[in-house]
Amino acid sequence: MSDRADTAQTPSAAEAEVADLCRDLLRIDTSNYGDGSGPGSAPRPSTSWGC
């Protein structure tokens, strides 16, 4: 019986592209320091939505 770990396969072009995209998304800095100074901090909207 063959173990799946023994048969290494090279990823297809599509799989490699997906892996590259996911890696790039994980590298995006979304730090939020709570004071609005971080790159992941969005400015508050100037309008009220009635909440």
pTM for the model stands at 0.45
User: 36 vs 45, which has greater pLDDT?
Assistant: 36
Q: In angstroms, rounded to a whole number, what is the distance separating the alpha carbons of residues 48 and 10?
A: 53
> Contact 7/17 with Cβ under 8 angstroms?
no
Element (DSSP H or E) covering residue 23: helix 13-26
Q: In angstroms, rounded to a whole number, what is the distance separating the alpha carbons of residues 24 and 16?
A: 12
Cα angle for residues 15, 17, 20 (degrees, 5° grid): 110
Q: Which two tokens stand for residue 1?
A: 């019986």
pLDDT tens-digit readout, 8-43: 688 899 999 999 999 999 998 878 777 877 776 666
